[in-house]
Amino acid sequence: MLYGNEALDELGILDGINEVIATTEANGRINAAPIGIIRSENRLYVRLFLGTHTYENVLAKGWFVANITHDAWIFAETALEDLSPKYFTRREDLPVLKDAEAWGLFECQAFASDIIIGDLKPIKGEVIRRDFRAINRGANLVIEASVAATRYLALRTDSYFEELMKMQRIIDRCGGLREREAMDRLMDRVDSFTHMR
C-alpha cells in the first residue's frame, strides 16, 4: 500500500490533468465517471460540475477513489452511462474498478456551488498491475470523443457534433475492435439522448 503525497508519482498521477475514473458511493450504489485530477506544482485539485452523481457523492461523502486505467472503452462507457455492479470490486473495502491498473483514495474538501473546485488529499493507493502498450490514436480519440459527447449533450453546440464525426472516422481507421465498439456505443447514446431531450 502507498500512502500520502509520495503515492502520486507511483500511481502515475503526474503534472497536468490526469484523466481517471472516479468511483464514489451513495446509498449502497457505486457510481463511476471520468474526471480530471489537476496536479500543478504544489496543488492537487478537481473541478466538479453541478448536476452529476460524482458531484453529489463527493459533496456528501468527502472522498472518491481515482481508478487509473488505459482502457478508453471504460471512459466512453462511464461518460454517458452507469456501469453495472459486475465491473466493480472492493479493495480495502473501497469501490474499485475490477480492471483498474492502480487506484488511489482521495479526500476532497468540497463546498456546494455551481462548480466544486476541491483540493485533494491523497490518503492511500495501490498499484495492481503496470500496463504498457504502444500509443493508439484511436484509443486517445475515444477519450476526446467522450469529452466532446458530454459537452455536446450539455450545450448542444453543433461544432462538438462535427468533431465527433471527424473523430469517428479516425477511430475507425486507427482503433482496434474495442475502440471502434466504444465509439459506436458512444454515438448511439448521443443519438438517443439527442432525441430524448
Ligand X SMILES: Cc1cc2nc3c(=O)[nH]c(=O)nc-3n(C[C@H](O)[C@H](O)[C@H](O)COP(=O)(O)O)c2cc1C
Binding pattern to ligand X, positions 97-136, x when CB under 6 A?
A: ----------------------------------------
Task: Give CA–CA dist 148/145, Å, rounded.
Answer: 5
| Total of chain residues touching ligand X, rule CB under 6 A | 20
User: Helices (H) and strands (E) in the chain — how many of each?
Assistant: 6, 9
3-state DSSP call for residue 39?
A: strand
Nearer to ligand X, 52 or 136 (CB): 52
Decide if residue 148 touches ligand X (CB under 6 A): no
Q: Which stretch binds ligand X (CB under 6 A): 52-60, 62-70, 98-106, 178-186?
A: 52-60
Q: Is 151 exposed, middle or buried (0-12, 13-18, 19+ CB in 10 A)?
A: middle
Nearer to ligand X, 67 or 150 (CB): 150
For 42, residues 6+ apart whose C-beta sits below 8 A from its C-beta are none
Decide if residue 72 touches ligand X (CB under 6 A): no
Q: Which of 7, 8, 13, 33 binds ligand X (CB under 6 A)?
A: 33
